[in-house]
Chain A
Amino acid sequence: MNSATMSDVIVLAPELILVGMSLALILTARRMRSTSAAAVGTIVAALTAALASGWVLSLGSRTAFSGMITLDEYALFFNVLIAATLAIVVMLSVKSLDTEQIPRGEYHALLLLGATGMMLAGSALDLLTLYLGLELMTLTAYILVGIRVERPASNEAAIKYFLQGSFASALLLFGISLTYGVTGFTDFASIAAAISGQGLESNPLLLVGVGLVVVGLAFKIAAVPFHAWAPDAYEGASAPVAAFLAAGSKAAGLAALGRVSMAAFGSESQLLALILMGLAALSILGGSILLLSQTNMKRLLAYSSIAHAGYALLGLIAGTPEGTSATMTYAFFYVFMTLGTFGVIIALGSRGENLEGYRGLAAQRPGAAFVMLLFLLALTGIPPTAGFAAKFYVILAAVGAGYTGLAVLAVACSVISAFIYMRVAVLMYMTEPEEPAPAAFPTAVSAALAVAALVTLIGGISPGSLAPWVVSP
C-alpha cells in the first residue's frame, strides 16, 4: 500500500475543504452567537470546494488512492451541483434556525459532512468508497432529520428513516459483497474487465449482486418501491433539511447510479435496463398518483421528488453516454426547481407548509407567487422552464432506446401531476386570501429564490446550455 502523496490529497481537495470547515464549526459551536457566521462560513466553503474542483480538474483528470477515487468531469459536475445545493440550503435555513432553536454550529457542520458524502458518491471509482460516501451522507441526514429534538414528529421521522435506510445500506453492502465474491474486485474498472473478460455476464450470483446494488441506490433516490421513507422524513424534518434531502441526496444517488451503471456494470446493460425501467415506471406512476391527495406541501414535494426520480432514471435506461448526460441534465435542473419550491415554502413560514396557505398569495405577494408559478411549471415540465428542457432530454433518451411506451407513460403522468401543481397555482391566483400577508422575506432567502428562479428560467430558454458540462463517465 502506497502512502498518500500530494497528488492523492489534491484530488480530495473539495471534500477536505468541506470537512475542514465542518470541524472548525464544531470546535467553535459553543461560542457561536449568530447564525450568519456559520452560514457565511459554510457558503464560503461550498464555493471554495466548487472552485477547487474546477482548478484540480484543470490540472488534468486524475485518480487517487490506488484508483479508489477520481476527479473527472463527471465528478466535477456533481461537485458543483452539490456545492450549489449546500449554499442554497444554507441561505434558506437562516430564518428557521433562529425560530426553531436548532444548534447552529452542529447544524452547519452536519450539512457540510453530508455534502462531503454526496461529493464522494459522485467521485468514487470503487464500490467501497461509494458505500462510505453514501453512508456519510445518510448518517448525517438521519441526525439532521431528527435535529429538532423536542418535536416528537421529528424524532419519529428520524427513526423511520434510520430503520429503512439501514436496511437499504445492508442490501447495498450485500450486493457489493456478492459482486466482490464473483469478480474478485471492488473497483469499477476491474469489475467491468472481469465480467467481460471471464464471461460472467449471466452468472446468477453476479446478477443478484448487481440487482442489490441498484436497489440499495434506489433507496437513496427514493424510487418506488423503495420510497416509503421520503414522505415521513420530509414532513418530520425542518423544511431546509427536507430540501437538502430532496435535492442533494437525489443528486448523489443519481451520480452513483450513473457511474456504477456506466463504469462497472456496463456489460450487464440488459439487466440494468430491466430493473431501471421497472423503477422508473413505478416511480413516475406511483409518485404522480400519490401526489394527488396531498395537502401538506412537504409531503407533496416528497411525492413529487419520487416521481422526478423516475423521470431522471429514464436517461439511464438506455445505457448510453447520451442517456447518462440526459440524466445529469435532469438532476441539475431538478435540484434548482425543487430547491426553489422549498424556498417559497420556507419563506412563507408555517403558512407555506399547508396547501390551503397559498390562497390568495398572488394578491398579497405577486413576486413570490410568480416565482412559485415558475417552479410549479418547471415541476410539471411546461416550457419555457428548465423542467421542460430536462424532460425533453430524458424522453429523447428513452425514445431513442426504443422505450416509446415508457415515454408515453411518463408524459401521461406529468399531466396527472399537473392537477396538483396547478391546484397550487389556482389557489394562489384565483382565490381570495384568508390569512394576513406574509412578513417580508429575509434577504438570504430572497437571494436563494432569485438564483433558483434564474437557473430555472435560463435552463428553459437555453436548453442546450449545460451540454458542454454533462459528460458521461
Chain B
Amino acid sequence: MTAYPVLTVTTFLPLVAATLILLLGSERFARWIALGGTLATLAVAAPLFLYFDKTSSALQFVESREWIPALNIDYSMGVDGISLPFIFLAVLLSILCVGVSWAAVGTRTREFYAVLLVAETAMIGLFAASNLFLFFIFWELIVVPVFLLIGVWGGPERVYASVKFLMFTLAGSVVMLVGIIALYDASGTLDFAELAAGASIEPGRQTWLFVAFLAAFAVKVPMFPVHTWLPNAHTEAPTAGSVILAGILLKMGAYGFLRVSLPILPGAVQLFLKPMLIISAVAIVWGAYVTLVQTDVKRLIAFSSVSHMGFVTLGIFTLSQRGVEGAILQMINHGILSAALFLMVGMIYERTHTREIKDYGGVARVAPVYSTLLALFCLAAAGFPGLNSFVGEFLIIGSAFGTEFWLGVMAVWGVALGTAYLIWLYYRMIMGEINPGLAGLAIELNAREVATLAPLAVLAIVLGLYPEWVLSYLHVPVAELLGSGVSP
C-alpha cells in the first residue's frame, strides 16, 4: 500500500493551503497557492484510485486513531466504492473552481481562495469519514464557507440567499444532531460499520431516527418541499460557489441516505418507502415544470437540479441494485453536468453581465467553441444517448418501472420535460439572429476557460460510452448494502 495516511492527507491538504494563503497575506499569490493546493490534493489522492480494490465491499485505506476515548468515538476514515467517486469529483471540481475564479474574483481574493479550500477539505472529509461523528463535523464544516462564498462574493441578493441557505441547512442538521446522539445512546457506537452490523434498534425508535436524519438529508438534497433555498443560493452564488453547491453539496444528502438511513435504519426505510418515492416523483415533474418557465438562465439551471435530484432519490428508494447504482451514477453525472453548466453560465456572464435569457440569442455566430461545448453539456443533461446522463436515467427509469408502473411514467415525463427546457434554453440563447445587445462583445472562450471545461467534457463523453468505469466501483458495495436486509 502507501507510505502515508492517504485520506487524512487528501482531506487536510487544502486546509493547509488555506492557512498558508492567510498567513502569507499576499493577494497576488493567493490564486497560485490555491491552484497548487488543489492540484497537489489530486496528486496525493492518486493512490486511492490506483490501489483501490473493486472486488471488496470492505472499507479501504482505513485509518483510525483514538479521539474521544471516554465516548468510544475514534477519528476514523475509510472509503468504499460508493464514496470514492465522490472524492474524485470533489477534488476535480475544486481545481476547476480555482480555474473559473482566476479572473472573475477580484475583491478580497485571499479570503476567497482560503474559503474555497476550506470547503474542499469539508467535501473530501465528508465522503472519507467512516463514523457518524466525523461525518457530522464535516457536514457542518462546509456550511460556513459556502455561506461566506454566497454572501461575500455573490450577486445582488446575496445576503438574503446566504442567510436562507444557512438557516435551512442549520435547521436540518441540528435535528440530525439529536438523531446522532439518540443513535449513540441506543447503540453505544457511532462507527458506520458497527452501527450497520448491529442494526437492531427497535422499530418505534427507528422511525424517529429516520425522521431526524431525513430533516438534514432532505434539506441538502434538496427534496420537495424544502428545496426553496436552492434557487436563491445557486443563483446568487459566485460561479465557484454554484459549482460546489450543485456539484457536491447536493450529493451530501443522498449520500447520507446511503450511509445512514439504508444500512442503519432498514425497518424505518420500509415504512417510509412509499412517501419517499412519491416525493421524488413530484420533485421530478414539478421541478421540471418550474424550470421550464424560468427567464433567468442561472435560475433555470438551479431549478433543474430539483428535478435531477428527484431522479436520484427515486433510484435510491427503489432499493434495487439497478436503481441504487443508477442513482449514484446519476449523482456523479449531475455533479459533472450541473458544474459544467454553471461554469458556462458564469463565463458568459463575466462578459455580458446579464442572466436574462431574452438578452441573449445568436451566440453561435460569435462564439462557436462556446456554443459547441454548451450543446454537448445540454444534450448530456437532457439524457442524450451516448452521453453520461443517459445511462443513469436509463437505470433509474428501468427500476422505477419495476417498482410501480406510474413511477416509471412520471420519470419518463420528467426526462421529456428536461429535454424541452434544455433544448429551448439552447435555442433561445445560441440559435437565431444575434441579439443587438451582444454586438461588439468578445464572447468566445479563452484557453484557460476551455481548459477548465475540458475535463468535464471528456468525462461526459467517456462516462456516456463506458459507464462501467464508475459502475464497476459500485457493484460490490451496493450489493452488500442491499443484501443486509433493506431490500423488499
A residues with a Cβ closer than 8 A to B are 362-363, 366, 373, 377, 380-384, 388, 391-392, 395-396, 399-400, 404, 407-408, 411-412, 414-415, 418-419, 422, 425-426, 429-431, 462-464, 467
Contacts and interface: CB of A to CB of B under 8 A. Distances in A.
Interface centre among A363, A373, A383 (most CB of B within 10 A): A383
Contacts of B9: none
A426 B70 contact: no
B171 A415 contact: yes
B144 A377 contact: yes
Which 10 A-B residue pairings sit nearest by Cβ, starting from the closest? A464-B68, A411-B174, A430-B151, A467-B70, A383-B137, A383-B140, A399-B181, A415-B171, A399-B185, A407-B178
B109 to A, nearest CB: 12
Contact of B144 (A382, A391, A412, A463): A382
A383 B73 CA distance: 16
A417 B470 CA distance: 43
Contact of B184 (A396, A419, A422): A396
Contacts of A407: 178, 181
A411 B175 contact: yes
B181 A415 contact: no
Contacts of B273: none
A93 B171 CA distance: 38
Contacts of B166: 418, 422
B1 to A, nearest CB: 27
Contact of B162 (A395, A426, A467): A426
A411 B163 contact: no
Interface in B456-484: none
Nearest to A382: B140
Contacts of B159: 426, 430-431
Nearest to B110: A366
B178 A404 contact: yes
Contacts of B401: none
Given A395-B178, A408-B178, A384 B137 contact: yes
A426 B151 contact: yes
A399 B140 contact: no
Interface of B is mostly: helix
B137 A467 contact: no
Nearest to A418: B170
A381 B137 CA distance: 11
B449 interface: no
B312 to A, nearest CB: 26
Nearest to A377: B144
A410 to B, nearest CB: 8
Contact of A430 (B137, B143, B144, B152): B152
A431 B160 CA distance: 12
Contacts of B174: 381, 411-412, 414-415
Contacts of B447: none
B279 interface: no
Contacts of A383: 136-137, 140-141
Contacts of B170: 380, 382, 415, 418
Contacts of A396: 71, 181, 184-185
A464 B182 contact: no
Contacts of A404: 178, 182
Contacts of A391: 177
B137 to A, nearest CB: 5
Contact of A411 (B71, B137, B167, B177): B177
Nearest to B107: A363
A470 to B, nearest CB: 9
A204 B222 CA distance: 55
B141 A399 contact: no
Given A377-B144, A411-B175, A415-B174, 12 more contacts: A362-B152, A383-B136, A395-B177, A399-B185, A407-B178, A411-B174, A411-B177, A411-B178, A419-B163, A426-B162, A430-B151, A430-B159
Interface in B118-177: 136-137, 140-141, 143-144, 147-148, 151-152, 158-159, 162-163, 166-167, 170-171, 174-175, 177
Given A404-B178, A464-B71, A388 B140 contact: yes
A388 B158 CA distance: 27
Contacts of B136: 383
B437 to A, nearest CB: 30
B359 interface: no
A415 B166 CA distance: 10
Contacts of A363: 108
